[in-house]
């Protein structure tokens, strides 16, 4: 149970990667942390790394609106109906040439990465409105800035999260709620291991190593999530390449597209 002075954050995708690292960072800095994930084993590992009185954990699927209702109710009971930050972080990465992607993979990516984010915002909005200075942080990606081949559906969802963030930062300002996004470069998480083409044993991580593309530690992304929860900007990149991509996508889009062709060879 959170005390009255303690700030609170609701973290989806907390069972691994950026979600776990962010939960740990906020807990280290005194926050009460709600841990939510579809993966019970991963969630248990994250929970074990946080002080017992400083966290709540529950499994649910961000595609499930009823699951959101249960999770938000439990979080509200633990925090006295306060939610200072919603970290909409749960995501999946499945890629491949568009004509080779199974329909169920396409649906999964869209339903988790975009619809799951929208589900979270609508479910959490009542608590956020009751919490002065509340904020929503949505995990987008550098893929929300630059379209990469073999990741078209994933890219579409991240462009969508970016646009959603910009629209809602204006729309929800009438409630005093800020909406920002985290836009990391490639981060050392499991998502790099399951975005290869169907039928191939080569994951995105392998392609990045082949092209000597930097992969950044997950703690860096967590620190930028902290910045996104406190700063005045709307989008927060993680990694020098992400900042360069943001600049280049705006001012040199043709150069960016040519670089994508080199990095992600489409034969």
CATH number assigned to the domain covering 8-263: 3.40.50.720
pLDDT at 26: 98
Whether 194 and 95 have beta carbons less than 8 Å apart is answered as no
What does the CA dihedral 157, 158, 163, 165 come to, rounded to 10 degrees? 110
Residues that are catalytic? 154
Residue 120's CB: how many other CB atoms inside 10 A?
25
Which one-letter DSSP state was computed for residue 187?
A: B
pLDDT at 1: 67
Does pTM surpass 0.95?
A: no
Instruction: Give the pLDDT of the chain (267 residues) as one tens digit per residue.
Output: 667 779 999 999 999 999 999 999 999 999 999 999 999 999 999 999 999 899 999 999 999 999 999 999 999 999 999 999 999 999 998 888 899 999 999 999 999 999 999 999 999 999 999 999 999 999 998 776 777 778 899 999 999 999 999 999 999 999 999 999 998 876 656 666 665 554 555 656 556 555 566 566 888 889 999 999 999 999 998 766 655 665 555 644 555 566 655 655 555
Q: Which residues pair with 179 in a beta bridge?
A: 136
pLDDT at 251: 46
pLDDT at 203: 59
The CA–CA distances, whole Å, from 95 to 7, 11, 67, 76, 150 equal: 37, 25, 27, 36, 5
């Amino acid at each position: 149970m959170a005390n009255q002075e303690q700030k609170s954050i609701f973290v989806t995708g907390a069972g691994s990667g950026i979600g776990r690292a962010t939960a740990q960072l906020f807990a280290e800095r005194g926050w009460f942390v709600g841990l939510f994930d579809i993966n019970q084993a991963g969630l248990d590992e994250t929970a074990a790394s946080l002080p017992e009185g400083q966290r709540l954990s529950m499994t649910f699927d961000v595609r499930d609106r009823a699951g959101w209702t249960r999770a938000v109710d439990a979080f509200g009971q633990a925090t006295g109906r306060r939610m200072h930050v919603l970290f909409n972080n749960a995501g999946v990465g499945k890629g491949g040439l568009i004509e080779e992607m199974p329909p169920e993979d396409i649906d999964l990516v869209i339903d988790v990465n975009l619809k799951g984010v929208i589900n979270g915002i609508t479910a959490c909005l009542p608590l956020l409105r009751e919490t002065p200075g509340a904020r929503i942080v949505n995990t987008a990606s550098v893929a929300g800035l630059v379209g990469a081949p073999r990741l078209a559906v994933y890219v579409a969802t991240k462009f969508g999260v970016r646009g959603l963030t910009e629209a809602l930062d204006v729309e929800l300002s009438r409630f005093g709620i800020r909406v920002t996004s985290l836009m990391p470069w490639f981060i050392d998480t499991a998502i790099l291991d399951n975005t290869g083409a169907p039928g191939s044993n080569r994951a995105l991580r392998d392609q990045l190593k082949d092209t000597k593309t930097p992969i950044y530690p997950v703690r860096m992304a967590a620190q930028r999530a902290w910045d996104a929860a406190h700063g005045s900007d709307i989008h927060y990149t993680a990694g020098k390449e992400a900042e360069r991509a943001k600049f280049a996508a705006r001012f040199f889009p043709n150069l960016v597209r040519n670089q994508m062709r080199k990095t992600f060879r489409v034969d």
